[in-house]
Chain A
Amino acid sequence: MIEFILNGNLVSTNSDATTRLLDVLRNEFNLTGTKEGCGEGECGACSVLIDGDLVTSCITAIGSIKGKTVVTIEGFRETEQYKVLEKAFAKAGAVQCGFCTPGMILAAHALLSKKSRPTYEDIREAISGNLCRCTGYNMIVDAIMIASKEGKGLW
Chain B
Amino acid sequence: MVKGYYPKTINEVLEILSMEEEHMLICGGSDLMVTKKFAQNMIFINQIEELKEIKEDSNKIYIGAGCVYKEMIDNEIIPEVLREAIKHIASPAIRNIASIGGNICNASPAGDTLPVLYAMDAIIVKAFINKDGNLYITRVPICDFILGVRKIALEKNEMVIAIEIDKESYKNMTYSYYKKVGGRKSSAISKLSFVGLMKIENNIIKDVKMAFGAVGPTALRSREGEKILIGTKISDIEEKKEAVINFYDKLIIPIDDQRSTAKYRKKACLNLLNDFITYKN
Contacts and interface: CB of A to CB of B under 8 A. Distances in A.
Interface size class of A (residues with CB under 8 A): 20 to 34
A17 B186 contact: no
Given A54-B96, A64-B29, A44 B91 contact: yes
Nearest to A54: B93
Nearest to A103: B93
B93 A47 contact: yes
Contacts, number: 92
Contacts of A47: 93
B28 interface: yes
A59 B34 contact: yes
A55 interface: yes
B96 to A, nearest CB: 4
Task: Tell me which of B29, B46, B92, B94 has the highest count of chain A C-beta atoms within 10 A of its own C-beta.
Answer: B92
B42 interface: yes
A54 B97 CA distance: 9
B30 A63 contact: no
Contacts of A107: 92-93
A56 B32 CA distance: 14
Nearest to B95: A129
A24 to B, nearest CB: 13
B16 interface: no
A20 B92 CA distance: 19
A66 B6 contact: yes
Given A53-B70, A128-B187, A64 B26 contact: yes
Interface of B: 1-4, 6, 26, 28-30, 32-34, 36, 38, 42, 44, 46-47, 70, 90-94, 96-97, 185-187
29 contacts: A16-B2, A17-B3, A18-B2, A41-B91, A42-B187, A47-B93, A53-B70, A54-B93, A55-B96, A56-B93, A56-B94, A58-B33, A59-B29, A59-B30, A59-B97, A61-B29, A61-B33, A61-B42, A61-B44, A63-B4, A63-B6, A64-B28, A64-B29, A66-B4, A126-B92, A128-B91, A128-B187, A129-B90, A129-B91
Interface of A: 2, 16-18, 20, 40-42, 44, 47, 50, 53-56, 58-61, 63-64, 66-67, 107, 110, 125-126, 128-130
